[in-house]
Every structure is written in C-alpha cells, then in structure tokens.
Structure 1
Amino acid sequence: MEQPKEPLIYLGPNISGGVLSGNTVFKGGKPAHIDLLIAEQPEIGDLIVPVKSINDTLAKINKVGTAEHQAYQALIKRGTGVK
C-alpha cells in the first residue's frame, strides 16, 4: 500500500496568467502541469517544499546568497512569465 505523499507548498512569487500562485499547497504530490512549469523555469521547483519546512525555507528566501533566495530573485527578475 502506497503511503500518501506529504503536502507541498510553493513559496515563490505568483506566476503570470494565474498559472501558479504563491503559497499554493499541493496535497498528494505536484500536479502534472507543475512539472511542465519546472521544466521551463527550474527555480520554481526549488521553491516547492514540504509544508513542514515553511519557516526554514522562508528564512532562506530572505537570506542573501542562499539557493532559495537566488531562485526567488531569478523568478522576480524574469517577471515570472511562463511561455
């Protein structure tokens, strides 16, 4: 029997066009369309974390030099538009 997947949350900026909003929670794993977004903008995947890691990840997003900070800033600079 497969164990249910833990809930995940996207802690990045909103992706234009309503494709993905910040703080979206995924229960039972990421939907297939999210994998397509990650293929186009890998930084999105860096900001999808287990819900239990919210505080740690937010601290890293706010700390200059961390991978999470760089991923968030890259999405902001890109205008978070997805092709």
Structure 2
Amino acid sequence: MTGRKTTIHLDDEADRWRWVCPRGHRSWEPTNNHFWCAKCARQMSHDDEFSPEFHELHDKRSGETRTRDEIQLITTVGPYEHREGSA
C-alpha cells in the first residue's frame, strides 16, 4: 500500500455491495478498529474457524483485499470515525 487509502461510501449501496467480509457476505458494518458481519454472527458455531469480527474487506470488483487501516469510510456527514465513550 502506498499510503493512499481506498474510499468506501457507506451510504452508497453500490459502493457497499462491492465489498464483502472474508466469507463473502455483504452484511458487514464498521465497528471500533475492525469490521463485524451480521450473517457470520448468525451462522457461527462453536467449531467455526471464522469470527464475525475481522480486519479486512475483499473487493469483489478488483479481487483485492484491504485492511481496516487501508480503507477510508465516508458517511453523509463526513468521514466515519469511531470515538470511545459517549457524547
């Protein structure tokens, strides 16, 4: 990675659907410093090697994978940033 981040517009359905979790689901959400997938959480069993929490998204268009640090998430009000604590 050359320091330039890949941008994902969270409110753009086409942009969101381009990216999938490690198991290929599109039901991921950003949280803290990683991602979380609702479908993985529903399908998880005790012997499952996959977790609903992960640090990389796969781009279905290009075939590339990006870590959370290599992605800039954008919302309608600006960059997505997780802040600890309450407002």
Same fold (TM over 0.5): no
TM-score between both structures, scaled by the size of structure 1: 0.25
Q: Which has the larger radius of gyration?
A: 2
Indicate the structure with greater helix content.
1
